[in-house]
Chains A and B, each alone.
Chain A
Amino acid sequence: MKKIFQMKEPSQKEAGAQDGKALHIRKNDWLLIAVLLVAAAGIYVAIQYYQKVSTKNAVAVVTVDGVEYGRYPLSEDHTETIRFEDGSYNRFAIQDGYVSMPEASCPDQICVHHSRISRNKETIVCLPDKVVITIENGEDSGIDVLQH
């Protein structure tokens, strides 16, 4: 243990040949960390706010067999069940600005397993029941470009 501490002395002096202060944590370092943290947090909050504003007008357009069933703003939580004459049904839910289909009677359940959507032109489709939910006026999705 003693040896390690003895080594510290000469090593600091020799390192001092490059930059004497490089190995002493300074006020500048903490200042740098604080400024960067505040800047990153500030920008993050600003982006969150901006995204909220830009998705304020987004609506979920629900169509059944090509006919518009209804339009629902994403800003309001809403749950509704579409029932068909043959007893089948699709339940969709809007929560926290996202649309999902938590329950449906269709055999494949693809619509139920679809991830929740919130961005412009994202869709949830239930082929057996011919139900399509599309987002309109929302923020553009960053994924579309990749898919192209």
Chain B
Amino acid sequence: MAKKTALLGMLVALAFVLSYIETLIPVNLGIPGAKLGLANLVVMVALYTLGTKEAFALSMVRILLTGLTFSSMAAMLYSFAGGLLSFAVMYLAKRSKLFSAAGVSVLGGISHNAGQIFVAMWVLDTATLIYYLPVLAITGIASGTVIGLLAVMVIRRVSGMINRWD
């Protein structure tokens, strides 16, 4: 248990650092809101190795930390919406056992974007923002695929070690 807690703390730190690194990479495709989602790689690893509760806690703490340090309260609201929706979708997708971790990550990426758009529609009271969803969805699919393939490779190598610790 103590080892698991320590590991979770390390993963939070890792996700936190990856979020920071992502702010340093200028991914300027002319599409605001499009990003790689490196931190989701850590959430994926936690979801497949530690468990649902742990991965959820990791995701929420990560958003709280990055929100307080790198962005505004408003941006944090968007992050929470994206984070909550994508986690719910990823959890259900994993449970359905229809897809591998790669597919789960793709669904997570796309639902992260959808969650942010929904909040933007609510905050700005503008339904027309939904027109923006397909564009953002395509970037979400692309980044979700990349992160998903990476996650499969990482989980394969890491899960054995983690399970042996228990």
Q: Which residues of A come within 8 Å of B, CB atoms? A: 4, 7-8, 10-12, 14-15, 17-19, 21-26, 28-29, 32-33, 36-37, 40-41, 43-44, 47, 51, 140, 142, 145-146
Contact of A33 among B106, B126, B152 (CB under 8 A): B106
Q: What are the residues of chain B within 8 A of A28 when measuring CB–CB?
A: 98-100, 103
Contact of B134 among A24, A25, A44, A140 (CB under 8 A): A44
Contact of A15 among B98, B131, B133, B156 (CB under 8 A): B156
Shortest Cβ distance from A20 into B: residue: B97
Bound together, the chains give a CA A20 to CA B141 distance in angstroms of: 24
Given contacts A33-B103, A33-B141, A142-B124, 13 further A-B contacts (CB under 8 A): A4-B157, A11-B158, A14-B163, A15-B49, A17-B163, A21-B100, A22-B94, A28-B98, A28-B99, A40-B138, A47-B131, A142-B128, A145-B125
Min CB distance A125 to B, Å, is 24
Contact A11 B156 (CB under 8 A): yes
Shortest Cβ distance from B110 into A: residue: A36
Bound together, the chains give a CA A51 to CA B130 distance in angstroms of: 13
* Residues of B within 8 A of A (CB-CB), count: 38
Bound together, the chains give a CA A146 to CA B129 distance in angstroms of: 12
Residue of A7, A11, A21, A26 ringed by the most chain B CB atoms within 10 A: A11
Q: What are the residues of chain B within 8 A of A7 when measuring CB–CB?
A: 157, 160-161
Q: What are the residues of chain B within 8 A of A19 when measuring CB–CB?
A: 94, 97
Bound together, the chains give a CA A22 to CA B107 distance in angstroms of: 14
Contact A32 B103 (CB under 8 A): yes
Bound together, the chains give a CA A7 to CA B153 distance in angstroms of: 12
Q: What are the residues of chain A within 8 A of B41 when measuring CB–CB?
A: none
Contact of A25 among B48, B100, B133 (CB under 8 A): B100
Shortest Cβ distance from B121 into A: residue: A142
Q: What are the residues of chain A within 8 A of B131 when measuring CB–CB?
A: 47, 51
Does B46 sit at the interface, judged by CB under 8 A? no
Question: Can you show 6 pairs from A to B with CB atoms below 8 A apart?
Answer: A4-B157, A14-B163, A22-B101, A29-B148, A44-B138, A145-B125
Shortest Cβ distance from B149 into A: residue: A25
Contact B152 A23 (CB under 8 A): yes
Bound together, the chains give a CA A41 to CA B133 distance in angstroms of: 11
Given the known A-B contacts A29-B103, A33-B141, are A21 and B97 also in contact in the complex, defined by CB atoms under 8 Å? yes
Min CB distance B93 to A, Å, is 9
Bound together, the chains give a CA A25 to CA B102 distance in angstroms of: 6
Contact A14 B160 (CB under 8 A): yes
